[in-house]
């Protein structure tokens, strides 16, 4: 009969409530021992103690972090979709979404909403999430690096890649002569400052450039192959230079030599020992990616990042290097990338953009002199990348229009520039004002790529060159 299960259910609940009431009445008669002198307090009010304050703040911050991540994901996807509709890479929209959520827009016009969604108290927690995300992203960038292509570079690729690093690097050093007395302070060594500005001028966003070429179906054309090869070389060179900058900024002149030697030794260890061992391991392992194999990859990623952080050249370089020693064309690399890519692109990178947006204060750039400096930075960055690439491409025999298109592509900075800039701000090599100016430069140089490429290539930029490739990460 139907009433029997209902009656049994009611009886079970009643018995449970009665048992809890009995436990409560007995428990009230019990007395726990007093806490030892100096011991941490666990009861209500213990948050006032210095030892318990930090522990109490984490549960209270969790709802704010969850809300912030939810808003960040929605904003990033929405603005990214809008940019995709106007033939711009969605990552540019996601970058701008992060800035819109920061003090530059939301914090300025709706401070109450901003304080509720992204309170200053969660900035350290969001920063940790962002840094973990960038470490994973740099691993994916290294995982997609085609080292075979780097070894088989054509004459044009060699010339353009060298010029697209050397010219903006030198111009960045010259620009530092003007920026240092205006936007820095004497507690920042000029050499560290100049090296960082030079590196920030030299960066090319390999993942964004690859996505632009894929969307325009240019990835298999001679222009696309040269651009991807040059961008990959630029990526490797830029991260080596950034590692040098971090080592110099963190160390005394004596320690800098030791840091450089340790870095060279670590790179040699990864390329000469770890890389070949990984190849042997991949040849012996089963076809499908197991959880144990994924655990080994993540463990290697973390240990490599820890090693470079301990050396003094930042965890990002270790993550990138560990990804680079895994054969990019192996089924294993594709499976690892498939498992990590969506999580990194949808959750971690928007969190990084929002964290960058919280640190970008466009209000610090005030008046014509400051905006004049922004224009000068954009001009130097563009002349260095575009000019160096264009001249080298023409000298190697490329037609004027193709050389100009290659220069435009190499001027793409995007996410990679933001990673570099955040490292500089964390090291206190650049001020918040200069950080904001350089962020604006990264946005402008990335945003101009697609429309300029369309002007230069016309309908050819949308011409199909074979089957459509899968979008690059």
Residue 330 lies in a domain: yes
Between CA 370 and CA 436 the distance in angstroms is: 11
pLDDT of residue 373: 96
Kindly state whether residue 220 falls inside one of the protein's structural domains.
Answer: yes
CATH code at 296?
Answer: 1.20.1530.20
Whether residue 412 lies inside any domain: the answer is yes
Spatial separation of the C-alpha atoms in residues 387 and 407, rounded to whole Å: 7
Separation of alpha carbons 317 and 240, rounded Å: 8
**Does the reported pTM lie above 0.85?**
no
> Rounded distance, CA 248 to CA 390, Å?
32
How far are the Cα atoms of 105, 357, 415, 434 from residue 361, in angstroms, in the given order?
Answer: 9, 8, 18, 10
Establish if 323 belongs to a structural domain.
Answer: yes
| Residue 193 maps to a domain | yes
pLDDT of residue 162: 82
From residue 84, alpha-carbon distances to 34, 349, 350 in Å are: 63, 17, 16
Residue 59 lies in a domain: no
One digit per residue, the tens of pLDDT, for the chain of length 473 reads: 567 777 777 888 888 888 888 887 887 788 767 766 766 555 554 444 444 444 445 567 888 899 999 999 999 999 999 988 887 888 889 889 999 998 988 888 898 898 888 888 888 899 999 999 989 988 988 888 776 665 655 566 777 888 888 899 999 999 999 999 999 888 888 988 998 999 999 888 777 777 677 666 776 677 777 887 787 777 777 777 887 788 777 766 566 677 778 888 888 898 888 888 888 887 777 667 788 888 989 999 999 999 988 887 788 888 888 988 888 888 888 888 889 989 998 999 899 999 999 888 898 998 899 999 999 999 999 999 999 999 988 888 888 888 898 899 889 887 788 888 988 898 889 999 999 999 999 999 988 888 888 888 664 543 333 333 333 44
DSSP assignment letter at 40: P
Question: What's the domain range around 291?
Answer: 97-462
Please state, in angstroms and rounded to a whole number, the distance separating the CA atoms of residues 301 and 320: 9
Q: Is residue 335 part of a domain?
A: yes
| Residue whose C-alpha is closest to residue 100's, from 78, 120, 121, 85 | 78
Annotate 243-256 with b (16+ C-beta within 10 A) or e (fewer): bbbbbbbbbeeeeb
Considering its fold, how many domains does the chain have in total? 1
Output the average pLDDT for the chain. Answer: 82
Domain assignment present for residue 25? The answer is: no
């Amino acid at each position: 009969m139907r009433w029997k299960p209902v009656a049994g259910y009611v009886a079970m609940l009643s018995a449970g409530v009665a048992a809890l009431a009995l436990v409560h009445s007995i428990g009230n008669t019990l007395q726990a021992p007093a806490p030892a002198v100096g011991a941490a307090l666990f009861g209500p009010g213990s948050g006032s103690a210095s030892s318990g304050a930090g522990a109490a703040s984490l549960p209270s911050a969790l709802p704010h972090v969850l809300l912030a991540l939810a808003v960040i994901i929605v904003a990033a996807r929405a603005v990214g979709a809008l940019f995709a509709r106007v033939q711009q890479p969605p990552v540019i929209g996601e970058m701008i979404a992060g800035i819109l959520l920061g003090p530059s827009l939301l914090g300025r016009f709706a401070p109450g909403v901003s304080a509720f969604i992204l309170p200053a108290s969660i900035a350290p927690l969001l920063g940790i999430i962002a840094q973990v995300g960038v470490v994973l992203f740099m691993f994916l960038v290294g995982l997609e690096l085609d080292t075979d292509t780097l070894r088989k570079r054509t004459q044009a690729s060699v010339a353009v890649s060298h010029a697209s690093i050397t010219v903006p690097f030198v111009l960045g050093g010259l620009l530092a002569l003007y920026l240092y007395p205006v936007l820095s302070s004497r507690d920042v060594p000029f050499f560290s400052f100049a090296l960082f500005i030079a590196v920030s001028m030299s960066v090319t966003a390999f993942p964004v450039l690859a996505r632009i070429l894929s969307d325009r179906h240019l990835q298999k054309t001679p222009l696309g192959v040269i651009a991807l090869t040059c961008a990959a070389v630029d990526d490797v060179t830029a991260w080596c230079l950034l590692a040098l900058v971090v080592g110099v900024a963190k160390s005394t002149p004596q320690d800098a030599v030791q840091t450089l030697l340790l870095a060279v030794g670590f790179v040699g260890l990864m390329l000469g020992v770890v890389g070949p061992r990984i190849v042997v391991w991949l040849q012996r392992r089963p076809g499908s990616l197991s959880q144990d194999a994924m655990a080994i990859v993540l463990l290697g990623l973390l240990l490599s990042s820890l090693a470079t952080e301990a050396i003094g050249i930042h965890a990002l370089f270790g993550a990138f290097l560990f990804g680079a020693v895994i054969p990019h064309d192996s089924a294993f690399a594709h499976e690892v990338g498939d498992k990590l890519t969506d999580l990194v692109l949808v959750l971690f990178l928007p969190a990084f953009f929002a964290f960058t947006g919280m640190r970008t204060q466009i209000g610090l750039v005030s008046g014509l002199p400051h905006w004049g400096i922004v224009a000068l930075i954009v001009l130097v960055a563009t002349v260095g990348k575009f000019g160096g690439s264009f001249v080298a491409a023409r000298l190697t025999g490329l037609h004027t229009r193709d050389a100009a298109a290659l220069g435009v592509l190499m001027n793409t900075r995007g996410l990679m520039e933001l990673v570099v800039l955040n490292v500089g701000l964390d090291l206190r090599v650049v001020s918040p004002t200069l950080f904001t100016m350089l962020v604006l430069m990264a946005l402008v140089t990335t945003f101009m790529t697609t429309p300029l490429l369309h002007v230069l290539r016309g309908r050819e930029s949308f011409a199909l060159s074979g089957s459509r490739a899968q979008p690059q990460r």
